[in-house]
Structure 1
Amino acid sequence: MFVRPCWQPKSPADIRQIIDENPWALLVSQSDAGPLATNLPFLVEEAAGDHSVDELVLVSHIARANEHLAALRENTTPVLAIFEGPWSYVTASWYPERQMPSTYYYSAVHCYGTIEFQEEPELDRSLELLVNSMEASYSSGWKTSEIPRSEITRRFAGITGFRLRVSRVEAKFKLGQDEPLRDALAVADVLGRHDAPEHRKLAAMIRDQNAGRE
């Protein structure tokens, strides 16, 4: 991924936030027939420190009927998980003097690593982690204990759990850091007034990543 120095996030915590808040990612790997890609949920299983990206381990699962799984079992090269954070098209009309071309502001994290397949007890724990994490934002969130245990375990035959042990992380926060500060902040002001939460979140990221500039 092409990342100018100014687009580097300010801290590992910024990278972890993108992963934690945007778990629906794209897994990409190589096969004899060419590249394969599957959209999957990924959660952080463990890392060195609360916000570190060193020794990061992600967990997910994939349908056994997916041809991508067979390719992953045979693959010997690193795979890639792509996490996409807040983004927006930025029209030049938002700039004070409309003197800059229109562009996109966005954030993305690329995690490269190797796959380790889980045994059934590990898959069970990972699914519980996924459900608890996803349901936490709902006031009356669902729990696996609400249905018979057999309704959970019978589905194990159709999926395979795995870990992605991350060896390299690339992150790009293209948020106007290479533009005049007043232009970047003008974009943040427009997005900050938007109804969509993701646009307001992007506005906060723009202000944070441009803090300290003159």
Structure 2
Amino acid sequence: MRQNPSFAMTDVGEIRRLIDLNPWVTLVSQAEEGLVASHYAVMLDEDRDDLTIVGHVGKPDDAILGLGARELLVVVQGPHGYITPRWYGEVAAVPTWNFVSAHLRGIPELLSPEENLRVLDRLVDRFEGHGDDARGLYTLPNDVTFVERLERGTVGFRLTPTHVTAKRKLSQNRTVEVVETIIDGLTAEGRHELADEMRRAADARVRP
């Protein structure tokens, strides 16, 4: 992803927030036959305060990706969408696409079966929620034998990226008035996630 200083996102807390809110990522690796990609959910490593992520892939995706042996590119995609030049006023302009995204690169560490089970348990716990009918990884009828058999069909990993590129392109190159018009337009169209990210970026610009 080509970086632009005007749109660079370098704050670790903001990148962590992006990952936490957008856990469904694309994993890209260079295999002998060419580029390969898979899609899985990841989480921030709860024992770290950096950009280390944990996750798992199903077999044989580990072999296809060369997990643990080759560099892995993790693409995190946040809110994004089309921006019409109508919102710029009566000036010569072209449409654009606003987005928030991060690329994390590095060679992942493979998890032991015990660590992988803990990550799987945490993953289910996060997305299952805590309602009265929530079903955790070890909730009947998911007995321990079944869960351990499930774990053997997956490979867990931990990735501490050695290279990070994060970008928040949210009309920071436009005037405050134009940004407010864009936010109003997105809100009127029901594209609240992108509008909220633009509001967050706009507020950061004026914060002392």
TM over 0.5: yes
1:64 is matched with 59
1:6 aligns with 2:6: yes
What is the TM-score normalised by the length of structure 1?
Answer: 0.84
Q: 1:209 to 1:29 in 2, by over 3 A?
A: farther
Hey, what's the Cα distance between the residues in 2 that align with 1:65 and 1:12?
33
User: 1:185–1:206: 8 Å Cα contact kept in structure 2?
Assistant: no
Q: Secondary structure at the match of 2:152?
A: helix
Hey, what's the Cα distance between the residues in 1 that align with 2:182 and 2:131?
31
Hey, what's the Cα distance between the residues in 1 that align with 2:130 and 2:201?
25
1:178 aligns with 2:173: yes
2:149 is matched with 154
1:143 is matched with 136
Hey, what's the Cα distance between the residues in 2 that align with 1:174 and 1:208?
14
Q: Please list the CA deviations of residues 94-146 of structure 1 after superposition, one character each: whole Å capped at 9, or x if unmatched.
A: 22335421100100011111111111101100001111222238685432232
User: 1:88–1:105: 8 Å Cα contact kept in structure 2?
Assistant: yes
The amino acid across from 1:34 in the alignment is G
Identity of aligned residues (%): 26
2:25 is matched with 25
1:104 aligns with 2:94: no
1:165 aligns with 2:160: yes
Q: 1:129 to 1:98 in 2, by over 3 A?
A: farther
What is the TM-score normalised by the length of structure 2?
Answer: 0.86
Q: 1:106 to 1:212 in 2, by over 3 A?
A: same
Q: Secondary structure at the match of 1:2?
A: coil
Residues paired across the two proteins, number: 206
Q: 1:162 to 1:195 in 2, by over 3 A?
A: same
Q: 1:195 to 1:141 in 2, by over 3 A?
A: farther
Q: Secondary structure at the match of 1:94?
A: helix
Which deviates more from structure 2 when the two are superposed, residues 136-145 or residues 79-88?
136-145
User: 1:192–1:204: 8 Å Cα contact kept in structure 2?
Assistant: no
The answer for unaligned runs of 5 or more in structure 2 is none
The answer for unaligned runs of 5 or more in structure 1 is none
CA RMSD of aligned residues (A): 2.5
Q: Secondary structure at the match of 2:103?
A: strand
Q: CA deviation at 1:34?
A: 1.2
User: 2:79–2:99: 8 Å Cα contact kept in structure 1?
Assistant: yes
1:75 is matched with 69
1:122 is matched with 115
Q: CA deviation at 1:10?
A: 6.4
The amino acid across from 1:186 in the alignment is T
Hey, what's the Cα distance between the residues in 2 that align with 1:69 and 1:14?
32
Q: Please list the CA deviations of residues 16-71 of structure 1 after superposition, one character each: whole Å capped at 9, or x if unmatched.
A: 1111100100111111111111111111114654xxx4xx32111111133x5244
Q: Please list the CA deviations of residues 170-196 of structure 1 after superposition, one character each: whole Å capped at 9, or x if unmatched.
A: 110001112233222211122233434
